[in-house]
Amino acid sequence: MLTGPTPAAVTDGAFGDFVSQAAASGHLVVQPRMGFSDPERMRAGLRAVRTAPAVTVGTLTLDSYTRVGDHRAARDALAAGTDLNGYPLVAHDPATTRAVLRDVHGPDFPVQVRHGSADPRRIFTALLDVGLHSTEGGPVSYCLPYGRTPLRESVRNWTESCHTLAAAAGRGPEPHLETFGGCLMGQLCPPGLLVAMSVLEALFFRAHGLRSVSLSYAQQTDTDQDVAAVRALRRLAEEYLPDLQWHVVVYTYMGVYPRSVPGATRLLELAAEMAVRAGAARLIVKTAAEAHRIPTVQENVTALRAAAAAADRTRPDVGTRRPADAPTGHGGPDDLLSQVYREASTLIEATLALDSDIGRALLSAFARGHLDVPYCLHPDNAGRSATFIDERGRLRWARTGNMPIPADLACPRPLTASDLMNALSHVERRCDAGHTPTTRVEVER
């Protein structure tokens, strides 16, 4: 197994360049979602990730106070010595963060800021101030699932934030922005909508000046369906973003996680295998402790090692034998690709047709229910769509509301609360089958 970053991936520090060059060398880049409020612990975590036996990039995952813009509360917590659930980038003095990054962040180990904010303006300013140029999110994906911020306000905040990040081009490494649109609600969202939202948010970034982006997709309930989704996402990125540097990033399953170590490990391995098969360039990992607590540095490193090992023993799939718009059949790989591609293309085109301004188009699409995230309770989401897991373990539409989804891609059916609860625990039950759930104490050992 490769140890550390490849020499071919050494760049001027641009996040997109690093990942693209590693992928060209045949390596899946693996990345934790790690953040600690204590600067020394954060620095130790970054150093451990940098020296892990894998091709890695670093992460500063921010705390909940910073995500919602309550920087005073974050400062008060730091003053009181309270341990936060992430790194309070805005509350820490810039000199402190520069010290955290010194001799760690660089051309052979770029660091990304991960946050979850519908108003990231101060976050973007703060990350640029400490010499970082890569972050993630989106006007829809960091608004609808996570709070009550009006979508119109989030679009305005993200417009300004994109301009801030894009303006840094030419003064250092090329700024990079990752969509979170492919992770809406984390689970029970059919791949076509996830792929469409990832492309739409990337188009939003491009419209506001970004030239290096990554498009996200979250592992769902069936590996073959996920492979088809990532391949459809790559094809659509080629069509809609031909002038940008881009790559696809896969997120390990974001729903109810297996409680056994073997089950959690196998789910991570499936994510890595799926990413390689589908041609993704980067994987966000999760650890065996996810169902119990915030993981330690060592648990993150263990997960990185397991994901890299699974990726190393997996080969990419050969291209499809049929065009993307071929008729659907019995659910084989080509049929799945066709289904996801057609659904995503329809949603993208329906949204873009609403307005020449991508921000206004997104607002109009949600107002009309042309985009509708299942089980999302945000006031700006129509809430008329619903999904189910079919007998093959694949996500399907039970109700499409007012979305212009081709009729043959939906399977109208009544749903009960029991159906929803069973769907939410589907992946956990499948992966934990035959294994004893691990207790918190056992995980810590």
Instruction: Say how many C-beta atoms besides its own lie within 10 A of residue 325's C-beta.
Output: 9
Q: How many CA atoms lie within 13 A of 418 on its CB side?
A: 0
Q: Which domains does the chain have, with CATH numbers?
A: 1-445 (3.20.20.240)
Single-letter residue type at 212: S
Predicted TM-score (pTM) above 0.85: yes
Query: Which of 147, 121, 188, 168 shows the shortest CA–CA distance to 389?
Result: 188
| Under 8 Å between Cβ of 45 and 34 | yes
List residues bridging with 30 in a β-sheet: 56, 283
Helix-, strand-, coil-residue percentages of the chain, each rounded to 5: 45, 10, 45
Contacts of 366-371 with CB under 8 Å at 24 or more apart are 366/140, 366/151, 368/402, 369/401, 369/402, 369/403, 370/402, 370/403, 370/404, 371/140, 371/193, 371/196, 371/197, 371/347, 371/403
Distance, in Å, from the CA atom of 319 to the CA atom of 312, rounded to the nearest integer, reads 20
Averaged confidence pLDDT in the chain: 90
The pLDDT of residue 140 is above 90: yes
Secondary structure E strands in 149-270? 176-179, 212-218, 245-251
The pLDDT of residue 235 is above 60: yes
Q: Calculate mean pLDDT across residues 142-164.
A: 95
Q: Calculate mean pLDDT across residues 309-321.
A: 78
The total number of residues shown for the chain amounts to: 445
Non-local (6+) Cβ contacts of 339 within 8 A are 192, 228, 328, 409
CB-neighbour burial class of residue 10 (10 A; exposed 0-12, middle 13-18, buried 19+): middle
The pLDDT of residue 307 is above 50: yes
pLDDT value, residue 420: 87
Which tens digits make up the pLDDT trace of 406-442?
888 889 888 888 888 888 888 888 887 877 776 554 5
